[in-house]
Amino acid sequence: MPHRPPKALSFLSPFLILAVWEGLARAHLIDVRFFPAPSAILVAGWGAAQTGELWSNLRISLARIGVGFALGAVPGIALGIVMGLIPWVRLTCMPIVSAIYPIPKSAILPLIMLIFGIGELAKWVFIAIGVFFPVLINSMVGVLTIDQIYLDVGRNYGARGPNFLFTIALPGALPVIFAGIKLGFGLALILVVIAEIVASRAGLGFFIWNAWQIFDVEKLYTGLIVIGILGYLSSEAIDAAERVVVPWRPRG
């Protein structure tokens, strides 16, 4: 194996960019109305954190993501596995899934607001729909791509019904299901911001939209950074969960 570069590199590169950015802003080589210095953003972010404005909005968005994600992922996994296991369910549901899945989720938002109003329920449903499809499709594919030999082992050793589900189908599909969960979580993050920009007086989406309306560019960046950190942490959390739930996979 070739010599592996130090992992510190991946930590250093963002700081390098920030340092260059800071320098350019201070020298007024870039327009600070659009690209305020990182230090100025930090000060604005600190302020929003001090007043509690940041946390209350973050908390609201996290709650929406949490509920919406669960509402989409749990049925997605369940139906996906059933579709993977039972051909007639797959044949019945697949055309419907294929027809609905490609519609941009943002295009569905007005309809959802029409049906569910503009309260929390509408946000949950909106996020849930976005999460549901990638999780469903990955769960189904996860079951369908289980090596035939493991299905044979299950059948030969008499695994039927729930035994087959919990000792063969579910664990066999888990690695692919996790890929779906990652996709779904990324979508949840996008959708919560869309929903909050369009129809909310709270949440990170509102925080950013509000910053734009009052032309508080530093605050706008603060919102973006918080969402970026949230995305990074959630992806790390999902990876950590995968290492616990799927301990049988070799990892580099």
Contact between 177 and other proteins by CB under 8 A: the answer reads no
- Dihedral, CA of residue 45, residue 48, residue 50 and residue 51, to nearest 10: 180
Contact between 247 and other proteins by CB under 8 A: the answer reads yes
Contact between 166 and other proteins by CB under 8 A: the answer reads no
Q: How far apart are CA 224 and CA 125, in angstroms?
A: 24
Q: Of 215 and 248, which CB lies nearer to other proteins in the complex structure? A: 248
Contact between 159 and other proteins by CB under 8 A: the answer reads yes
Q: Of 26 and 249, which CB lies nearer to other proteins in the complex structure? A: 249
One-character DSSP codes across 78-116: HHHHHHHH-HHHHHHHHHHHHHHTTS-HHHHHHHHHHHH
Min CB(140)–other proteins separation in Å: 19
Question: How many residues interact with other proteins (rule CB under 8 A)?
Answer: 20
Q: Of 41 and 174, which CB lies nearer to other proteins in the complex structure? A: 174
Contact between 88 and other proteins by CB under 8 A: the answer reads no
Binder to other proteins among 6, 158, 161, 162 (CB under 8 A)?
158
Contact between 197 and other proteins by CB under 8 A: the answer reads no
Residues 90-119 binding other proteins (CB under 8 A) are: none
Contact between 172 and other proteins by CB under 8 A: the answer reads yes
Binder to other proteins among 171, 202, 224, 230 (CB under 8 A)?
171
Which listed range, 37-45, 55-63, 89-97, 160-168, lies at the site for other proteins (CB under 8 A)?
A: 160-168
Contact between 142 and other proteins by CB under 8 A: the answer reads no
**Residues 6+ positions from 219 with CB-CB distance below 8 Å:** 44, 48, 207, 210, 211
Binder to other proteins among 8, 149, 214, 244 (CB under 8 A)?
149
Q: Of 37 and 176, which CB lies nearer to other proteins in the complex structure? A: 176
Q: How far apart are CA 136 and CA 103, in angstroms?
A: 16
Contact in structure between 208 and 152 (CB atoms under 8 Å): no
Binder to other proteins among 15, 152, 237, 243 (CB under 8 A)?
152
Binder to other proteins among 30, 42, 194, 246 (CB under 8 A)?
246
Whole-number Cα distances in Å, 109 to 128, 146, 197, 203: 12, 36, 12, 17
Among the listed residues 199, 178, 56, the one whose alpha carbon sits nearest the alpha carbon of residue 125: 199
Binder to other proteins among 52, 91, 155, 228 (CB under 8 A)?
155
Q: Where are the alpha helices (DSSP H) in the chain?
A: 8-26, 38-51, 53-85, 87-100, 105-116, 120-144, 148-156, 161-164, 170-199, 204-213, 217-245
Q: How far apart are CA 171 and CA 231, in angstroms?
A: 26
Residue 18, φ and ψ in degrees, nearest 5: -60, -40
Write out the residues near other proteins by the rule CB under 8 A.
149-150, 152-153, 155-159, 163, 167-168, 171-172, 174, 246-250
